[in-house]
Structure 1
């Protein structure tokens, strides 16, 4: 399991109706796997509107988010930086990784960060049955609660791959579905300057910024760690306040 770097075949490349802009999804080779939803189906329109990729609002607030952990290599380094910079972030957790690294997950919560559900094993749930999707979400919730005492209320689909079934299962289990508007592409071995440039060119008020705290191509996220203090510095220089996803939603 190397986070977001294994291949998945693409589906129809379309925008979901009644949503904010969907960012490219982090699948090698960076393919969108968002299921096509019929514009004539009002129920499906309502479901798709539940995906939040950014928050349109007044004020300069953005949310840093991290996917695919925890692990013992990069998670502590990222937590150290966030603690030093006094930044709270949102971490989307893979259930099997939580089971393998419970102390690290507990540290994330103990240091005041928000935990979200990112499925049990990072499968492409847009191609899964309803029972499989529900199992992935519930099993991860149960593991996170067992370790931390916290039940997540946020869900991010692996690869950002959503379907009506994924959205139904998420909402049924009490989760708000979170996407992103800024993809750093840190998982893909991008250089530190490339990661920073991806933030600079895409960030705006209400942005949700995607990074990783485990996984990555060949299991390497050193550039993520190196870029993070520079991202924080850049955002602050531009006047942004860094908040968690729930804080961003509440500010709307």
Structure 2
């Protein structure tokens, strides 16, 4: 019984500590974040990068800060989205105040959990030397993939990435998320209405439809997802939709914030980044 009470009290202290940390994190948010009544959190995953310059121009013109999730994906120009060719682009975004997080180094898809302990997973990279090859990884190997992208971002930009990651395709399992969290990485998905549709076939849904859908359905607090170039979409999303979407959401009273200011992640970010000081 004494052991059970001790375990319960320890769990209660952990919950209390996490709650206090979250309150401190929210209190430490910039005044503009506290004043924002209808925040949305625009995020971009990497891709072929062709529209990256345009995205940067729109964000600067609209004075919107976003969170970029980066993997070293194959690009139309250069040596990969985190290669030397694109390094100046990332450095410029850091200077503008955007935030960064990992999308795994080789854009690795979770395929399945495998039975047994320690946890192992079937994974398939969609970039890098093992592109398209299914492999069996431990949780530690997956953490290395997350960390490698984050380390490259910091080396390029001089700015510490957030202790967050996004699994390619959003494909995860509870065991995979637990393994990543044990290594200091919290996963970020997106809201149902926040899927902005740039991955969909332009033959099945037009840019006009995607814009109208987002303006109709996005709600306060939603995390929005787009990409820096999708290979399969013939009618590119960003030139047609990005700026009208930002302007339309602003007209509806929304304001744009980074995930550093998100109430679900602010405490975690403060906790994990505090460990590295």
TM-score by length of 1: 0.69
Structure 2 equivalent of residue 3 of structure 1: none
Equivalent residue, structure 2, for 1:233? 247
Structure 2 residue runs of 5 or longer lacking an equivalent are 1-33, 74-80, 112-121, 124-136, 268-277
Task: Give runs of aligned pairs for residues 117-136 of structure 1, distance below 5 A.
Answer: 117-126=102-111, 127-128=122-123, 129=137, 130-136=139-145
Structure 1 residues 247 and 70, CA gap change in structure 2 (3 angstroms): farther
Poorly superposed stretches of 4+, deviation over 4 Å: none
TM-score (norm 2): 0.63
After superposition, the CA RMSD in angstroms is 2.5
User: Which runs of 5 or more residues in structure 1 are unaligned?
Assistant: 1-56
- Which residue among 76, 90, 95 is the counterpart of 2:53? 76
Pair 1:67-2:45 in alignment: yes
Structure 1 contact 183–198 (Cα < 8 Å) conserved: no
SS of equivalent to 2:93: helix
Contact 2:198 2:236 in 1 (8 A): no
Aligned to 2:82: 98
**Separation of aligned partners in 2, 1:149 and 1:95:** 18
Which entry has the higher C-alpha Rg, 1 or 2? Answer: 2
Q: Figure out how many residues of one structure are paired with residues of the other and give that number.
A: 194
Report deviation, 1:237: 1.3
Q: State how far apart, in whole Å, the 1-side matches of 2:53 and 2:154 are.
A: 20
Secondary structure at the aligned position of 2:212 is classed as helix
What is the aligned counterpart of 2:259 among 235, 245, 249?
245
Structure 1: distance between partners of 2:182 and 2:89? 29
- 8 Å contact 2:180–2:186 — kept in the other structure? yes
Q: Secondary structure at the match of 1:137?
A: helix
Cα 1:223–1:179 change in 2 (3 A) is: same
Partner SS for 1:91 = strand
Within 2, Cα distance between the matches of 1:84 and 1:111? 12
Q: Distance in 2 between matches of 1:139 and 1:228?
A: 30
Q: What does residue 137 of structure 1 align with?
A: 146
